[in-house]
Structure 1
Amino acid sequence: MTELTTAAPLHELSIAGRVLLPGRPGYAELATPWNVAVVNEPIAVVEVLDAADVVATVRFAAAHGLEVSVQATGHGAVRTERPTLLVHTGRLTDLTIDADGIARAGAGVRWGQVLEAGAPRGLAGLAGSAPNVGVVGFLTGGGIGPVVRTFGVSSDLVTAFEVVTGDGEFRRVTADENPALFWGLRGGKGALGIVTAVEFQLVEVAELFGGCVYFEGRDAEAIAHAWARWTDDLPEAASSSLAIVQMPAMPGVPEPLAGRTTVALRFAWVGDPAEGSRVVEPMLGLGTIVLGGMGVLPYSAIGAIHADPVDPMPTHEESGLLRELPAEAIEALMGLLADSPQIIVELRHLGGAFARANDHAPSAFGHRDAAYNLVTIGLGVPPVVAAAAAHGTALLAALGPWTTGGCLPNFTASADPSIVRRKYDDETLTRLATLATTYDPHGVIAAAHPIHAACLLSR
């Protein structure tokens, strides 16, 4: 690899899209991620219009000792430390659905567009809790959505990728064509190249039963204990999460939630609505409901269940996986929430179809034996970010007896090798690092470097 430099002759990078330099119109808009607490200053933002632009950019970076990072919606951004070209794929917005219900989405497509396109045919994409998130980034991290216990990990439904690897080659990747990359792109979270398009199977679901109710915060401990017992016996038709929410009083926050602590019960049921209502009914009488309700929803409105923020904001996140949630774990959790600096502390029920890997096409996504996912979200700005980080660490430590030690790729975006290591077992981490070296011999893909560093930690 040539010596790293910030003086690369960018005027020689010839593409159909735009090369935006710092200070030029459009640069700041495209360089800023959804989590505005992550501040990067790439040498240039390369707004690509097609896969050929990505190929040209990766080859240019390799020739001039640069790295390449990628962004579409800006979710999941991490800090980069070396001279970097940011490939912005937001203009790759082609979306089609064929007669067999296979969707093909460019790297700039968001889940909301897939939901809208599939709805007239009764077809549903396995989106996450926030339809504003990009399809590609979500699927390369595996994908845990509001119906994960019913349909499983979203990346298991991927049938093909189109990707530019770090050696500057455009490749089509399926279970039969470039199978090693197919394994690694589903869960490897961008370490093996820049995905320009993805194809995946839609499921036949037109509507579901569910929603979200917010209880008074004083009922939190009783509800949490009841929820933990209730999830022990939930059928796979049901997916649920529970969140302790402390929303500040600010524009856009509903008045019943502003400036107070509430408990959000999220629930999604695929099947007979009457049966779903019967299953969730015992939970609805456990406290005073201040907002929300349950009912039949078009699948395209699935984002209403979690109602995640749409506008960019500064956040700090911590996450971990639990193998069980006994009463002692709930007590340890609640003991640290009395003066919590977090905006949200969420427990998401896993198991069911989540636990079943795709035997036909295994992937780099792991930790399927986990029973619950825990995530904390606090404001990512000084001085409160320090308190949020310390509290998140303390909370995971308090739950240590019941955690697996792992975490999921799409939660807690970080380039910290110690965190990246928790996302994979040692065998998977070694295989990902080997693939990254094979397809990116000059170390162009920025997302691969934390994989290599994490791999060294595991030795």
Structure 2
Amino acid sequence: MNMDGEMSESMAELIGARVKPEDVAELRQNVTGPVLEPGAEGYAAECATYNLNCVLKPAVVVGAANAEDVVAAVRFARRFELPVAVKSSAHQMVSSAEGWLLITTQRMKGISVNSEERTVRAEAGVRWSEVLPRAGEHGLAPVSGSAPEVGVIGYTLGGGQSPLLGRTYGYAADHVRGLEVVTADGELRRITPEGDPDLYWALLGGKGNFGVVTAIEFEVFPVTRFYGGGIYFRGNDLDRVLTAWRMWLPTVGDDMTSSIAVQRLPDLPALPEPLRGEFVVHLRIGYLGTATAGEQLLAPLRQAAPALLDLVGEKPVTSIGDIHLDPVDPMPYFDRCVCLTDFSEETAQALVELTGAKSNCTLTTVEIRALGGAFDREPPFPNSVPSKGLPYVVFAFAVGTLDRAEELETDLGRVVDGLAPWVAERNMVNFLSPNEATDTDGVRAVYGKERYDRLAAVKRHHDPNNVFRHNHNITPA
């Protein structure tokens, strides 16, 4: 397709041979939500993504309003042998889906809270920013991520690593009671660990490879507040802050989750004056203990260097987004992720050399998160999340348009390659870049051979034609 959203002649011929206008008209009559083709009003908005460098170009878009719409869309795709892509909040798209059928789920907004069972049921279009206040009304909190505008289901299918509840409760995937899924045969199923343990295991960690999840039921926890937020230091103090943090980590319990980001911030009015256009170190803290205990625990870190801005304090759990202060608006970017087996003095020094004041690093953010605690524990009902047992994850992020792709991907590669002595083969699924997600050998390595082979076997059973491959694709064995 060209920049105006018009389909290329070759693609039009391919799709035209399979799908006639009357076929799309029939689909339109069978669903509640909109059915859009390239050039139609609303098509571009329906296909919009969080990463502006990833432009979706499907042949048909179905704006699902309910599970029945998803069933109709998948059956249509199966009839005409179209691959299926799925989009909710669009924080992680990995290909253009050109010529495919795209299902968007942002209209599916049902949320229900069972305070006695301490569970939430959320439909496919729900974001954490919508769950947090609803659960909070009952004194409960979900294992949500650093960015509240991320979709609940996509986050959970990739594991779901929380900057507040993670080290205490583990991954979000560890607490799923059941999933409602439209599989590649066009059937809507409820999947539970007792009823279908293999598909349950594969869905939670396998990202979107096994069907369209239309709703999910998960546990929530009696948490109403936390002590946390961020402390910003000057970038020139990176060495001192990293050293203090590395020595401090073994002294804290599982109720403390933390990370450090090296940031080169833009000069934007939305940022506080001390941070605009500055090179900074951002310490992120999420602590479930009391504010008094938190003050004592943070003392060694606050003493590491003078703070530019200290935003740590007592907060309601609905303010979990204050820990990372992730950007909300869509932007063009590139990213890379690796997990580390160790964060030694040598590792910290390498990170300083790669991202510090003398590094010539241009990346907007390079963050290292400490995992451990409940992230390493197997849940009562196993899942396929591959990052269990890995103590650290590094996420690197570069803001820029496609014309800067070579430059920014080179900079990302330099940081990732510079950490190679400590890089684990397995990785965190939700942080994989499009390049990493579409590399078959790379995806196999992310999961490890035994886990990947089991996933491939489940894929062969439930999606032998690889209908759902707009993701971190696991090919049918």
TM-score by length of 1: 0.95
Shift of the 412–306 alpha-carbon distance from structure 1 to 2, 3 Å rule, reads same
- What's the counterpart of residue 10 of structure 2? none
Instruction: Name which of 213, 226, 229 aligns with 2:231.
Output: 213
Shift of the 38–382 alpha-carbon distance from structure 1 to 2, 3 Å rule, reads closer
- What's the counterpart of residue 373 of structure 1? 393
Q: Tell me, in whole angstroms, the C-alpha distance in 1 between the residues paired with 2:233 and 2:210.
A: 44
Letter in 2 for 1:404: A
Instruction: Name which of 287, 290, 301 aligns with 2:308.
Output: 290
Q: Tell me, in whole angstroms, the C-alpha distance in 1 between the residues paired with 2:440 and 2:352.
A: 30
State the shift of 1:237 in Å. 1.1
- Misfit runs of 4+, over 6 Å: none
Structure 2: give runs of 5+ residues left out of the alignment: 1-12
Matched, 1:385 2:408: no
Letter in 2 for 1:5: L
Matches within 5 A, 1:7-18: 7=16, 8-9=19-20, 10-13=24-27, 14-18=30-34
Q: Tell me, in whole angstroms, the C-alpha distance in 1 between the residues paired with 2:310 and 2:124.
A: 34
Q: Tell me, in whole angstroms, the C-alpha distance in 1 between the residues paired with 2:425 and 2:244.
A: 25
- What's the counterpart of residue 355 of structure 1? 376
Determine helix, strand or coil for the equivalent of 1:33: coil
State the shift of 1:81 in Å. 5.4
Q: Tell me, in whole angstroms, the C-alpha distance in 2 between the residues paired with 1:369 and 1:143.
A: 15
Instruction: Name which of 395, 398, 405 aligns with 2:425.
Output: 405
Matches within 5 A, 1:191-202: 191-202=209-220
Shift of the 210–170 alpha-carbon distance from structure 1 to 2, 3 Å rule, reads same
The 8 Å contact of residues 37 and 59 in structure 2, kept in 1 or not, is answered as yes
Matched, 1:101 2:118: yes
Comparing 203-212 and 232-241, the one that deviates more = 232-241
Determine helix, strand or coil for the equivalent of 1:450: coil
Shift of the 39–347 alpha-carbon distance from structure 1 to 2, 3 Å rule, reads same
Instruction: Name which of 186, 189, 193 aligns with 1:168.
Output: 186
The 8 Å contact of residues 5 and 64 in structure 1, kept in 2 or not, is answered as no
Matched, 1:51 2:72: no
The 8 Å contact of residues 386 and 429 in structure 2, kept in 1 or not, is answered as no
Matches within 5 A, 1:104-253: 104-147=121-164, 148-253=166-271
State the shift of 1:300 in Å. 0.7
Q: Tell me, in whole angstroms, the C-alpha distance in 1 between the residues paired with 2:271 and 2:426.
A: 33
Shift of the 163–413 alpha-carbon distance from structure 1 to 2, 3 Å rule, reads farther
Deviations 1:235-258 (A, max 9, x none): 111100000011111342333222
State the shift of 1:449 in Å. 7.8
Instruction: Name which of 448, 458, 464 aligns with 1:435.
Output: 458
Q: Tell me, in whole angstroms, the C-alpha distance in 2 between the residues paired with 1:448 and 1:182.
A: 18
- What's the counterpart of residue 76 of structure 2? 60
Q: Percent sequence identity over matched residues?
A: 36
The 8 Å contact of residues 80 and 446 in structure 1, kept in 2 or not, is answered as no
Shift of the 253–293 alpha-carbon distance from structure 1 to 2, 3 Å rule, reads closer
State the shift of 1:386 in Å. 2.2
Q: Tell me, in whole angstroms, the C-alpha distance in 2 between the residues paired with 1:184 and 1:273.
A: 40
The 8 Å contact of residues 208 and 472 in structure 2, kept in 1 or not, is answered as no
The 8 Å contact of residues 43 and 83 in structure 1, kept in 2 or not, is answered as yes
Letter in 2 for 1:349: A
Question: What RMSD, in angstroms, separates the aligned Cα atoms of the two structures?
Answer: 1.7
The 8 Å contact of residues 68 and 85 in structure 1, kept in 2 or not, is answered as yes
The 8 Å contact of residues 93 and 471 in structure 2, kept in 1 or not, is answered as no
State the shift of 1:95 in Å. 0.1
Matched, 1:6 2:23: no
State how many pairs are aligned.
451
State the shift of 1:234 in Å. 1.9
The 8 Å contact of residues 207 and 472 in structure 2, kept in 1 or not, is answered as no
Letter in 1 for 2:297: V
Shift of the 194–255 alpha-carbon distance from structure 1 to 2, 3 Å rule, reads same
- What's the counterpart of residue 332 of structure 1? 350
State the shift of 1:47 in Å. 0.2
State the shift of 1:383 in Å. 4.2
The 8 Å contact of residues 62 and 442 in structure 1, kept in 2 or not, is answered as no
State the shift of 1:209 in Å. 0.7
The 8 Å contact of residues 139 and 222 in structure 2, kept in 1 or not, is answered as yes
Letter in 1 for 2:453: T
The 8 Å contact of residues 176 and 216 in structure 2, kept in 1 or not, is answered as yes
State the shift of 1:418 in Å. 3.8
Letter in 2 for 1:313: M
Matched, 1:322 2:340: yes
Q: Tell me, in whole angstroms, the C-alpha distance in 1 between the residues paired with 2:212 and 2:400.
A: 28
Letter in 1 for 2:351: L
Comparing 208-217 and 400-409, the one that deviates more = 400-409
Q: Tell me, in whole angstroms, the C-alpha distance in 1 between the residues paired with 2:269 and 2:62.
A: 34
The 8 Å contact of residues 167 and 441 in structure 1, kept in 2 or not, is answered as no
The 8 Å contact of residues 31 and 64 in structure 2, kept in 1 or not, is answered as yes
The 8 Å contact of residues 378 and 385 in structure 1, kept in 2 or not, is answered as no
The 8 Å contact of residues 48 and 54 in structure 1, kept in 2 or not, is answered as yes
State the shift of 1:82 in Å. 5.2
Structure 1: give runs of 5+ residues left out of the alignment: none
Comparing 400-409 and 298-307, the one that deviates more = 400-409
Q: Tell me, in whole angstroms, the C-alpha distance in 2 between the residues paired with 1:366 and 1:333.
A: 24
State the shift of 1:49 in Å. 1.1
Deviations 1:200-254 (A, max 9, x none): 0001101011110111111111111221121133211110000001111134233
Letter in 1 for 2:389: D
- What's the counterpart of residue 101 of structure 2? 85
Deviations 1:285-312 (A, max 9, x none): 2222122322111011111110101101
Matched, 1:343 2:364: yes
Q: Tell me, in whole angstroms, the C-alpha distance in 1 between the residues paired with 2:274 and 2:413.
A: 30
Comparing 248-257 and 99-108, the one that deviates more = 248-257
Determine helix, strand or coil for the equivalent of 1:187: coil
Deviations 1:167-220 (A, max 9, x none): 111110001122211101110001000000000000110101111011111111
Deviations 1:88-131 (A, max 9, x none): 00011000001311100000000011110011221001110000
Comparing 129-138 and 292-301, the one that deviates more = 292-301
Comparing 300-309 and 24-33, the one that deviates more = 24-33
